[in-house]
Amino acid sequence: MEHVLNHAYFRQHCHECGHSYTLTLYGVLQEQRLRTEWRNLQDRQAVWDADTLHVLEAIPRDSLEELSAAWDRVVAAADSAGLELILSPGGEQSQPHHH
């Protein structure tokens, strides 16, 4: 099952090519984990551009860890109950159910 954090993102501007790219919350969490586990011999700025570094420092890692763990529990509970959990494509809003 795809992770729900892949569906929430920041739109970042690339200063090299001028285009934009997305930085998902899942990507932010993975980058934050990498920052604590891996030490670059060079300056960190050489690895993460200033805009990405700003996002990594602005979004609390513990909140993302909690959100990620909660999602994993929801997926496990749905699976255990034999329920098919479906992530809607971006922009789709759930509609009320009427009889």
User: Which sequence spans correspond to the domains of the chain?
Assistant: 4-80
pTM, two decimal places: 0.75
CA distance 92 to 81: 25
What are the tens digits of pLDDT across the range 16-75?
A: 888 888 899 999 999 999 887 776 655 555 567 788 889 999 999 999 999 999 999 999
Look up residue 5 and give its two tokens.
Answer: 């954090």
pLDDT of residue 93: 44
- Positions of E strands within the chain: 9-13, 20-24
Question: Does residue 96 have a pLDDT over 80?
Answer: no
